């Protein structure tokens, strides 16, 4: 069969095959990071946390650019059972 068989092509949107990113981070990581940074920074009035949050965001975005599924693998590694059952 050739690759150009008529009638067997399906248009596929990029959002179905690529991870959902917000400012270069996976959506859940960005929401957790900035929710906690804003809670500490503005809630406790500790504004020195904001530059640390920007630096963490830049580091995580560089890591997500190198491997977009790093955070998914990291979260699943945290959820696995640490011991073997007999």
pLDDT 10s digits, 27-79: 889 999 999 999 999 999 999 999 999 999 999 999 888 988 888 888 898 88
Q: What pTM was estimated for this model as a whole?
A: 0.70
2 occurs within a structural domain: no
8 occurs within a structural domain: no
13 occurs within a structural domain: no
- Average pLDDT of span 3-16: 75
85 occurs within a structural domain: no
Helix axes 49-66, 27-38, angle to 10 degrees: 170
Give the count of domains, the chain.
1
The pLDDT value recorded for residue 20 is 80
48 occurs within a structural domain: yes
Strand ranges for the chain from DSSP E: 21-22, 25-26
Structure tokens at 29: 């990581």
- Contact status, residue 35 vs residue 28, Cβ threshold 8 Å: no
Q: How big is the chain by its Cα radius of gyration, in Å?
A: 20
72 occurs within a structural domain: yes
Q: Which domain holds residue 47?
A: 21-78
């Amino acid at each position: 069969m050739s690759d150009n068989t008529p009638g067997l092509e399906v248009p596929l949107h990029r959002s179905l095959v690529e991870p959902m990113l917000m400012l270069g981070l996976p959506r859940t990581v960005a929401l957790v990071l900035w929710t906690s940074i804003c809670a500490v920074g503005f809630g406790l009035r500790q504004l020195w946390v904001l530059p640390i949050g920007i630096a963490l965001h830049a580091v995580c975005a560089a890591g997500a650019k190198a491997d977009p599924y790093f955070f998914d693998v990291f979260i699943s590694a945290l959820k696995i059972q640490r011991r073997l059952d007999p």
